[in-house]
């Protein structure tokens, strides 16, 4: 039995658990046990021995008195849908809604999500400065009235003090309709001044601290198009020393945090910067600019607002408050709120609020999901994503020295290598094929240069860095200028730096670092996929030369299930007349290939009894597969057994294969004939065929081309093609295979004898025994084109045969398909691909390996947006229990 502290940290940091569903039972002196939701449980205030039990979803999972510890075994408390505000970057919060009896308590709201989303952000002006002049008591009722009239779905407030939070919590219209992102009495509100309210359902909330007073407050809200993350912040102002550098550090931290958030993101707040930096640093679009154009009305206007004049250092008017968008939401309208004073000349705040009406999940017609180009062919700033960057990676000597400091003081150390950023974010990985050559051209006139890394610096109090420009800044700025010219819209105030830590505590450790030297001779183009780290995808040399692509070689060795498969065959033959079919019958099975069997029973198969369930099976389902009714079982993790059960009708069981046309089960029994025909066709070439077929099937598996339900070729098709090459090749059958079938005119069908006349579809491969049928009928035009391209690549570049395909350079967006029944889900994949093709994504490709508890479908170069995918899901998932499709941006899934 683990301790209560161990249970707490397991649930806190294990992504399988949903903290919002856990409750701690805490002993109180002289009182009943107090039930404390985990999201508000503070381990620093409660001794661990006072935690008496832990429950989730009403089930006790850990109990001190009885010794129960079922946290790992129970399904209670598990994440039902993956959260978007994930640790370690967000600390989970507890949304609070009003209850007539209990008051404000954890709850997510019950309103129905709508197709549009109205967001309002407003700095409310606390009275920490000049309290006698800002007339807070008179302003706050005015502020609440303005908020009520604004009729916003999500309200993001900054500079909220406990008194204002209490007024909001007491307002009838707030109690009736809105959910807070945290308890209105939470210390986090007073510390940061950030508070979010939502009248649409709140799926989760979370906070991230830059420092005690600065950070991010976030909620994920439900809309008709899917979840939208709304993030509020208030960056350091120029009233603080070194305010500009602290804002840069806060924006860099925010960009890193938000790079781990998938899908639609809306970032709002007071950025204390009137220029393009906030949008460019976050790789986001500015809602006001999209509707009103650049410039626009100031949100902080000392010339007309006396409250702003009191707090202004310069007297300049500026648009400090923004609504920034990352994703495909369309902006319908924007407006200022609170920009008209009362008859007495009183404004509700020194800032004006910004209201934006959004339609989430709708891609812009001009560019869809892909990267945008300007008239010169350069990638525009709207193409940026926080999932990619262009960086310099220092020598290993530097990495070895700084890693201990980074691991101790930088939460991003596990996600980023030690680096100096040149461009962040860069273009989506789906555009790397175009962008990387452009990057190489941009730096071909920039000569490699030597650098000295020495001296520890800081952006404000929060970001400590090693100076890579101690030997001179000019070459760094020349390099950055060349990159910025090719990829405009990024940060203009470039400061070369190598981040060591994000706390003032890093200074003492960092000062022990010595001086290092290095050479900037090449740049790394990095990207992150899903929740993974930033990884180098390409290397670009300075001073000319071709970029080098980093390849991912599949080094995973399959588990050999040969002995276990033989055990099942012996068992099955003890039950009845059983034939081994498929690759294990032809002798070309990969070690972990499934086992396919055909069982023949007298008469009709009837209801399938437990007779055909393999002993020790972990999972068993009765299916009606391509070969007829049968049993599908898993006998080892990774080893499936498919048993097709065929009735012999009036034919003796022993003669059923030879007389299969008389049985009614001729398709299932033809699999026996297919295996026999293939073995006969390679007589005298058995070893060559076995080696070739296994190599080809391993290649097809790595490339994701080997699954018929996913639109690929089945095993019998690969065996037919391999048998032809094994028989016809003079010396190197593998080269013959790739060369022959890459150059094949697929308007002609293929059989064991070679050319078999006109094709019936995009590809036609005929089975070798009666009834002869096309086993490639599920292959569409685009998949045939993809398969041909992969065959050519394997023929021309043999070293690429074990490399994983560059799926994230191929697809601009992804869909994750899920259902309660994995078998039924696989059976619907082909229909999904047809739906996607009709919707304008004919090059969609379903990856035939499990991803994220479902099936990942690459949506090609012209993917549907989230709204269109939701429409497709509505048609496709009918009758599929638990069926769902979730849209992910490029890089949003690790595939």
Residue 744: give its domain's CATH number: 1.10.1410.10
Please report the pLDDT score of residue 608 as a whole number: 63
Specify whether 276 is located in the same domain as 163.
Answer: yes
CB 817 within 8 A of CB 895: no
Any idea which of 440-444, 475-479, 508-512, 803-807 has the lowest mean pLDDT?
508-512
**Whether the predicted pLDDT of 532 surpasses 60:** yes
414: how many CB neighbours lie within 10 A of its CB? 11
Specify whether 355 is located in the same domain as 466.
Answer: no
Q: Is residue 635 part of a domain?
A: yes
Please report the pLDDT score of residue 363 as a whole number: 39
Any idea which of 343-347, 377-381, 465-469, 840-844 has the lowest mean pLDDT?
377-381
Average pLDDT over residues 720-724: 95
Residue 722 phi, psi (nearest 5): -70, -35
366: how many CB neighbours lie within 10 A of its CB? 7
Average pLDDT over residues 52-69: 92
Q: Is residue 91 part of a domain?
A: no
Distance CA 533, CA 417 (A): 8
Cis peptide before 425 (omega within 30 of 0): yes
Is the C-alpha dihedral spanning 820, 822, 827, 832 positive or negative? positive
Average pLDDT over residues 219-233: 91
Which tokens belong to 698? Answer: 């391993």
Specify whether 814 is located in the same domain as 767.
Answer: no
Specify whether 403 is located in the same domain as 292.
Answer: no
DSSP one-letter string for 448-496: -EEEEE--EEEETTTEEEE-TTTT-SHHHHHHHHHHHHHS-SS-SS---
E strand map for 502-534: 516-520, 522-527
Distance CA 487, CA 379 (A): 6
**Whether the predicted pLDDT of 824 surpasses 80:** yes
Task: Give how far the C-alpha of residue 737 lies from the chain's centroid of Cα atoms, to the nearest Å.
Answer: 37
Q: Is residue 93 part of a domain?
A: no
**Whether the predicted pLDDT of 745 surpasses 50:** yes
Specify whether 300 is located in the same domain as 419.
Answer: no
Distance CA 409, CA 403 (A): 10
Give the helix ranges, DSSP H, for 598-707: 666-681, 686-703
Distance CA 74, CA 60 (A): 10
Which tokens belong to 151? Answer: 């009729």
CB 844 within 8 A of CB 837: yes
Distance CA 406, CA 500 (A): 5
Q: How many helices (H) and strands (E) does the chain have?
A: 24, 41
Average pLDDT over residues 155-174: 96
Q: Is residue 554 part of a domain?
A: no
Which tokens belong to 135? Answer: 């007339």
**Residues 421-435: tens digit of each pLDDT:** 999 878 899 999 989
Distance CA 208, CA 393 (A): 28
Please report the pLDDT score of residue 863 as a whole number: 92
Kindly state the percentage of the chain with pLDDT values over 90.
Answer: 51
Please report the pLDDT score of residue 399 as a whole number: 94
DSSP one-letter string for 268-327: EEE-S--SSHHHHHHT-EEHHHHHH-SS---SB-TTT-HHHHHH-SS---B--EEEEEES
Which tokens belong to 220? Answer: 């994920």
Please report the pLDDT score of residue 10 as a whole number: 85
State the Rg of the chain over Cα. Answer: 32
CB 246 within 8 A of CB 460: yes
CB 741 within 8 A of CB 784: no
State the residue for tokens 């009305």. Answer: 297
Please report the pLDDT score of residue 366 as a whole number: 32
The torsion angle over the Cα atoms of residues 75, 80, 84 and 90, rounded to 10 degrees, is: -30
Considering all CA atoms of the chain, what is the largest pairwise distance in Å, rounded to the nearest integer?
103
Please report the pLDDT score of residue 133 as a whole number: 87
Average pLDDT over residues 493-503: 86
Which helix or strand (DSSP H or E) is residue 354 part of?
Answer: strand 353-359
**Whether the predicted pLDDT of 365 surpasses 50:** no
Any idea which of 157-166, 558-567, 709-718 has the lowest mean pLDDT?
558-567
Specify whether 608 is located in the same domain as 466.
Answer: no
Any idea which of 7-16, 361-370, 439-448 has the lowest mean pLDDT?
361-370
* Closest among 582, 578, 771 to 661, alpha carbons compared: 771
Instruction: Name the range with the highest mean pLDDT among 149-163, 267-281, 634-648.
Output: 149-163
pLDDT class of 718 with cuts at 50, 70, 90: very high
User: What is the residue range of 449's domain?
Assistant: 381-549
Residue 333: give its domain's CATH number: 3.60.10.10
Residue 619 phi, psi (nearest 5): -150, 135
**Residues 726-740: tens digit of each pLDDT:** 999 988 999 999 999
Distance CA 289, CA 279 (A): 11
E strand map for 29-127: 31-37, 51-56, 59-63, 68-69, 91-92, 96-99, 103-106, 117-123
**Whether the predicted pLDDT of 42 surpasses 90:** no
Of 479, 514, 549, which residue sits at a domain end?
549
Strand partners, 219: 205, 230
Please report the pLDDT score of residue 368 as a whole number: 40
Please report the pLDDT score of residue 369 as a whole number: 45
Average pLDDT over residues 438-443: 92
Specify whether 602 is located in the same domain as 531.
Answer: no
Please report the pLDDT score of residue 593 as a whole number: 87
Please report the pLDDT score of residue 92 as a whole number: 86
**Whether the predicted pLDDT of 380 surpasses 70:** no
**Whether the predicted pLDDT of 383 surpasses 60:** no
Distance CA 336, CA 319 (A): 11
pLDDT class of 552 with cuts at 50, 70, 90: low
Which tokens belong to 620? Answer: 């068993």
Domain count, the chain: 6
- DSSP state for residue 377 in the 8-state scheme: S
Which tokens belong to 539? Answer: 């290397």
Cis peptide before 232 (omega within 30 of 0): no
Specify whether 326 is located in the same domain as 390.
Answer: no
Please report the pLDDT score of residue 621 as a whole number: 83
Residue 864: give its domain's CATH number: 3.30.70
Q: Is residue 663 part of a domain?
A: yes
E strand map for 528-618: 535-541, 548-549, 577-581, 595-601
Of 719 and 868, the one with more pLDDT: 719
- DSSP state for residue 622 in the 8-state scheme: E
Specify whether 404 is located in the same domain as 353.
Answer: no
Average pLDDT taken over every residue of the chain: 88
Which helix or strand (DSSP H or E) is residue 333 part of?
Answer: strand 330-337
Of 359, 393, 424, which residue sits at a domain end?
359
- DSSP state for residue 329 in the 8-state scheme: P
Distance CA 184, CA 165 (A): 6
pLDDT class of 697 with cuts at 50, 70, 90: very high
- The number of CA neighbours under 13 Å toward the Cβ of 382 is 20
Distance CA 688, CA 691 (A): 5
- CB neighbour list of residue 612: distance below 8 Å, 6 or more residues apart: 572, 575, 599, 630, 631, 643, 645
Distance CA 247, CA 269 (A): 13
Specify whether 406 is located in the same domain as 260.
Answer: no
Please report the pLDDT score of residue 364 as a whole number: 38
Evaluate if pTM is beyond 0.75: no
Distance CA 118, CA 360 (A): 10
Residue 579: give its domain's CATH number: 3.30.460
Any idea which of 321-335, 455-469, 554-568 has the lowest mean pLDDT?
554-568
Q: Is 796 exposed, middle or buried (0-12, 13-18, 19+ CB in 10 A)?
A: exposed
Distance CA 37, CA 23 (A): 4
DSSP one-letter string for 12-52: HH-TTB-GGGEEEEEEETTEEEEEEEGGG--TTTS-GGGEE
Specify whether 41 is located in the same domain as 114.
Answer: no
Q: Is residue 94 part of a domain?
A: no
CB 764 within 8 A of CB 749: yes
Please report the pLDDT score of residue 354 as a whole number: 97
Which CB contacts under 8 angstroms, 24+ apart, belong to 601-609?
A: 601/576, 601/577, 601/645, 601/646, 601/647, 601/648, 601/653, 602/647, 602/648, 602/653, 603/647, 603/648, 603/649, 604/647, 604/649, 605/629, 605/645, 605/646, 605/647, 606/647, 608/645
Do strands 285-286 and 321-326 pair parallel, antiparallel, or not at all (unpaired)? antiparallel
* Closest among 423, 579, 550 to 488, alpha carbons compared: 423
State the residue for tokens 């294969």. Answer: 657
Please report the pLDDT score of residue 675 as a whole number: 94
CB 356 within 8 A of CB 284: no
Distance CA 26, CA 52 (A): 6
pLDDT class of 146 with cuts at 50, 70, 90: very high
Of 38 and 362, the one with more pLDDT: 38
Do strands 845-851 and 854-858 pair parallel, antiparallel, or not at all (unpaired)? antiparallel
Distance CA 357, CA 639 (A): 52
Strand partners, 204: 220
**Residues 77-127: tens digit of each pLDDT:** 887 666 788 877 888 888 999 988 889 988 887 677 777 899 999 999 988
3-state secondary structure 166-230: HHHHHCHHHHHHCEECCCCCCHHHHHHCCEEEECCCEEEEEEEECCCCCEEEEEEEEECCEEEEE
* Closest among 332, 354, 364 to 114, alpha carbons compared: 332
* Closest among 314, 318, 324 to 351, alpha carbons compared: 318
Specify whether 623 is located in the same domain as 729.
Answer: no
Q: Is residue 690 part of a domain?
A: yes
Q: Is residue 862 part of a domain?
A: yes
- CB neighbour list of residue 597: distance below 8 Å, 6 or more residues apart: 568, 569, 572, 578, 579, 580, 581, 641, 642, 643, 644
pLDDT class of 626 with cuts at 50, 70, 90: low
């Amino acid at each position: 039995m683990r301790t209560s502290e161990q249970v707490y940290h397991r649930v806190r940091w294990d992504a399988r658990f949903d903290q919002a569903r856990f409750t701690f039972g805490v002993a109180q002196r002289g009182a009943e046990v107090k039930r404390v939701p985990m999201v508000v449980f503070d381990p620093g205030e409660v001794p661990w021995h006072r935690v008496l039990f832990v429950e989730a979803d009403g089930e006790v999972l850990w109990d001190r008195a009885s010794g129960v510890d079922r946290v790992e075994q129970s399904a209670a408390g598990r994440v039902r849908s993956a959260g978007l505000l994930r640790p370690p970057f967000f600390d989970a919060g507890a949304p609070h809604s009003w209850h007539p009896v209990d008051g404000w308590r954890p709850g997510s709201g019950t309103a129905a999500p709508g197709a549009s989303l109205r967001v309002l952000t407003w700095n409310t002006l606390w009275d920490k400065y000049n309290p006698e002049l800002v007339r807070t008591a008179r302003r706050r009722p005015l502020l609440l009235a303005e908020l009520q009239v604004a009729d916003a779905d999500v309200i993001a407030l900054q500079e909220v003090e406990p008194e204002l939070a209490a007024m909001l919590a007491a307002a009838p219209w707030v109690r009736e309709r809105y959910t807070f992102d945290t308890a209105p009495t939470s210390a986090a509100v007073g510390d940061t001044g950030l508070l979010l309210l939502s009248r649409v359902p709140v799926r989760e909330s979370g906070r991230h601290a830059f420092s005690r007073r600065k950070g991010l407050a976030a909620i994920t809200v439900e809309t008709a198009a899917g979840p939208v993350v709304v993030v509020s912040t208030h960056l350091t102002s120029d009233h603080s020393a070194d305010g500009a550098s602290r804002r840069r550090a806060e924006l860099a931290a925010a960009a890193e945090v938000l790079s781990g958030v998938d899908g639609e993101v809306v970032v709002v707040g007071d950025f204390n910067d009137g220029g393009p930096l906030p949008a460019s640093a976050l790789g986001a679009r500015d809602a006001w600019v999209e509707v009103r154009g650049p410039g626009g009305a100031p949100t902080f206007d000392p010339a007309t607002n006396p409250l702003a004049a009191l707090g202004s250092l310069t007297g300049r008017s500026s648009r400090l408050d923004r609504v920034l968008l990352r994703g495909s939401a369309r902006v319908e309208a924007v407006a200022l709120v609170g920009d008209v004073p009362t008859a007495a000349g009183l404004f509700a705040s020194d800032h004006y609020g910004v209201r934006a009406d959004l339609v989430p999940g709708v891609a812009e017609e001009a560019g869809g999901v892909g990267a945008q180009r300007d008239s010169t062919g350069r990638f525009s700033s709207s193409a940026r994503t926080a999932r990619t960057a262009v960086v310099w990676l220092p020598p290993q000597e530097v990495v070895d020295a700084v890693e201990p400091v980074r691991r101790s003081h930088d939460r991003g150390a596990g996600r980023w290598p030690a680096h100096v950023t040149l461009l962040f974010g860069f273009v989506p990985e789906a555009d790397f094929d175009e962008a990387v050559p452009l990057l190489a051209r941009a730096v071909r006139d920039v000569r490699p240069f030597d650098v000295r890394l020495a001296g520890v610096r800081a952006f404000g109090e929060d970001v400590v860095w090693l100076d890579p420009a101690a030997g001179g800044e000019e070459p760094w700025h020349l390099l950055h200028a060349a990159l910025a010219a090719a990829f405009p819209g990024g940060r203009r105030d470039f400061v070369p730096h190598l981040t060591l830590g994000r706390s003032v505590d890093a200074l003492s450790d960092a000062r022990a670092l010595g001086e290092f030297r290095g050479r900037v001779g090449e740049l790394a183009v990095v990207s992150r996929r899903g929740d993974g780290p930033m990884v180098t995808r390409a290397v670009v040399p300075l001073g000319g030369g071709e970029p080098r692509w980093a390849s991912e070689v599949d080094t995973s060795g399959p588990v050999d299930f040969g002995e276990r498969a033989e055990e099942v065959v012996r068992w099955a033959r003890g039950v009845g007349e059983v034939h081994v079919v498929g690759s294990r019958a032809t002798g070309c099975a990969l070690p972990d290939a499934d086992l396919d069997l055909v069982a023949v029973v007298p008469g009709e198969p009837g209801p399938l009894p437990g007779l055909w369930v393999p002993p020790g099976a972990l999972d068993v389902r009765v299916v009606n597969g391509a070969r007829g009714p049968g049993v599908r079982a898993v006998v080892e993790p990774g080893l499936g057994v498919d048993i097709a059960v065929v009735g012999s009708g009036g034919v003796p069981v022993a003669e059923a294969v030879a007389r299969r046309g008389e049985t009614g089960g001729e398709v299932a029994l033809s699999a026996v004939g297919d295996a026999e025909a293939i073995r006969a066709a390679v007589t005298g070439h058995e070893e060559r065929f076995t080696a070739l077929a296994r190599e080809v099937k391993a290649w097809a598996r790595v490339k994701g081309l080997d699954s018929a339900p996913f639109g690929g070729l089945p095993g019998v098709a690969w065996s037919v093609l391999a048998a032809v090459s094994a028989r016809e090749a003079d010396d190197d059958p593998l080269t013959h295979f790739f060369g022959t079938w890459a150059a094949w005119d697929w308007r002609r069908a293929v059989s064991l004898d070679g050319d078999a006349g006109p094709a019936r579809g995009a590809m036609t491969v005929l089975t070798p025994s009666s009834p002869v049928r096309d086993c490639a009928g599920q292959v569409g035009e685009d998949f045939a084109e993809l398969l041909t391209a992969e065959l050519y690549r394997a023929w021309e570049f043999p070293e690429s045969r074990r490399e994983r395909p560059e799926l994230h350079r191929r697809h601009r967006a992804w869909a994750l398909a899920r259902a309660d029944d994995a078998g039924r889900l696989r059976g619907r994949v082909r229909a999904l691909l047809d739906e996607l093709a009709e919707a304008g994504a004919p090059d969609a490709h379903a990856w035939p390996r499990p991803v994220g508890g479902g099936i990942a479908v690459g949506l090609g170069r012209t993917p549907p947006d989230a709204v269109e995918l939701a429409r497709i899901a509505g048609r496709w998932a009918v009758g599929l229990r638990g069926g769902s499709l979730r849209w992910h941006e490029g890089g949003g899934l690790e595939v």
